[in-house]
Amino acid sequence: MLTIALLSLLHVLVFVYWLGGDLGAFYASRYLTKPGVSADRRLFAATMVGDVDMAPRTSLILALPTGLSLAQAKGWLNLGWPVVLGVSAVSVAWLAIAWVRHLNHAANPVFGTVDMALRWGLAGGLIFAAAASFAGLISIPLFLAVKFLALAGCVLLGLIIRRTLTPLFPALGALSAGGDTADAEVTIANTLAQARPQVKAIWTLLLIAALFGLWAPASF
């Protein structure tokens, strides 16, 4: 029972830090577009957003291993602990890569390729498992299949957000260099305006996953 309680706590903390970190980064990003804010304060806000955003990035990576561990411990899945531990080991390695890339922006570009491959692999694997469950090919409880799809959606939306934010970094570089700050500020404002609905979509998927996680097991 203690093991299940600890695994439940870890999985809940993933949700708390993911949503809480996203909300913090979302709020801090307002200072990037707030009128009358100096360039140096905008750059400071950008640094803060990047640091705070590591909470949801970490949570995304830990969502699957904590969830699978809890499902295995409660008997919702019968993957076997070697498989669960293998997934956890890969996730820990992935997490190390994510933090190295964050702390060292000049990190080996191979890390970026591995990170992208893992994200696409995770999204594809979750969608395949959920589809196979709906088709009756494998036995996965409905609430877990829905949570799989929600996590896959979060991963894919994260990739879309990365693409949306591409113009942001040259604009921040222009601010740092003291160039045409007016054009840079317009680019920053337009880019963040495009990204915000996508971030809110992630919040919706997180709440759906949490709802099914709390409600469905009671009648499993």
Tens digits of per-residue pLDDT, 153-203?
A: 999 999 999 999 999 888 888 887 776 677 888 888 899 999 999 999 999
Cβ(2)–Cβ(73) below 8 Å: no
For residue 199, give the nearest of 168, 172, 165, 173 by alpha carbon.
165
Helices within the chain (DSSP H only): 2-28, 39-52, 54-74, 81-103, 109-134, 142-164, 168-177, 181-215
Q: Please provide the average confidence, as pLDDT, over all residues in the chain.
A: 90
Tens digits of per-residue pLDDT, 61-117?
A: 999 999 999 999 998 999 999 999 999 999 999 999 999 999 887 667 899 999 999
Per-residue DSSP letter, 76: S
Residue 30: pLDDT band (50, 70, 90) is confident
